[in-house]
């Protein structure tokens, strides 16, 4: 029986819409954790910095709480859900007002440790 080595980090209030964050999260799924952080450094989206912060938090959880090897961590799952919505109003013509919704997201990153199997010489 194989035990799974997973660790999780959740960022509850990311100031971005869920659809915008999902574009960046799909980009890093399945990558090694350090490669994902490097790719997010060069991603030209504002939400990429919050996602990078969440991945670093998951790596810190794996290192401190479970003593996992940082070099063997992969992004197993990365998903986003809706959080709160701030409602604001803008003035319009003829004394009217129109609403503006400012959505927040909840980003969840799940890392998995894949152990490197040592190959034995077969003779």
pTM: 0.85
Q: Are 113 and 72 in contact (CB under 8 A)?
A: yes
Residue 33 has pLDDT above 50, yes or no: yes
Specify the fold of 6-113.
Answer: Ribosomal Protein L22; Chain A (3.90.470)
List the domain boundaries for the chain. Answer: 6-113
Q: Which long-range contacts (CB under 8 A, 24 or more apart) does 20-24 make?
A: 20/45, 20/47, 21/47, 21/50, 21/51, 21/80, 21/105, 21/107, 22/79, 22/80, 24/48, 24/51
pLDDT digits (tens, 9 = 90+) for 48-97: 999 999 999 999 999 999 889 889 999 999 999 999 999 999 999 999 99
Largest separation between any pair of C-alpha atoms in the chain: 88
């Amino acid at each position: 029986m194989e035990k799974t080595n997973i660790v999780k980090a959740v960022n509850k209030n990311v100031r971005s819409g869920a659809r915008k964050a999902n574009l960046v999260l799909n980009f890093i799924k399945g990558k090694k954790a350090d490669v994902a952080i490097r790719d997010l450094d060069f991603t030209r989206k504002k939400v990429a910095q919050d996602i990078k912060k969440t991945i670093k938090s998951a790596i810190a959880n794996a290192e401190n709480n479970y003593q996992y090897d940082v070099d063997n961590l992969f992004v197993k799952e990365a998903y986003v859900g809706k959080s709160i919505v701030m409602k604001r109003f803008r003035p319009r013509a003829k004394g009217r007002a129109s609403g503006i919704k400012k959505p927040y997201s909840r980003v969840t990153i799940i890392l998995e440790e894949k152990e490197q199997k040592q190959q034995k010489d077969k003779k």
